[in-house]
Amino acid sequence: MTRVTAPAGAAKMLNLDKPLYTIGITAEILATHTRTLMMYEHLGLVVPSRTATNRRLYSQRDIITLGAIQRLTRGYGLNLISARMVILCLQLLDAHGVPRPSELTDIDVEHVKV
């Protein structure tokens, strides 16, 4: 059997910022309510793109960001502003090669934009 693989460097070709998912699909992926996503948008945590008819479209980066926020709010009981600050702190720690606290090693913030 021949196996088809992606070309070398294909991961770099992915565009995490391309708007792909409607609010309903995004809510389903994240197992949350569309109203919650609207609240996150109102707070400026994630601002989806808009179509010509003003429909929200979320990118992969938006979903990654929302997932990290959800892990901090649901898993650690943080409020939304605290989750944003923890993400920023984790990004700074990672950028400067400082080890994270052991409790937060599972939060992926490499592609998160807050």
Going from N- to C-terminal start, the domains of the chain cover 17-104
Give the CATH fold of the 17-104 domain: Multidrug-efflux Transporter Regulator; Chain: A; Domain 2 (1.10.1660)
The token pair that represents 64 in the structure block: 């990654």
Strands of the sheet with 49-50, listed across from one edge = 21-22, 56-58, 49-50
Q: Which of 98, 107, 36 is nearest to 72 (CA)?
A: 107
> Would you call 57 helix, strand, or coil by DSSP?
strand
Kindly give the confidence (pLDDT) of every residue in the chain, 114 residues in length, as a single tens digit, with 9 standing for 90 and above: 445 555 555 556 678 999 999 999 999 999 999 999 999 999 888 999 999 999 999 999 999 999 999 999 999 999 999 999 999 999 999 999 999 999 888 888 888 887
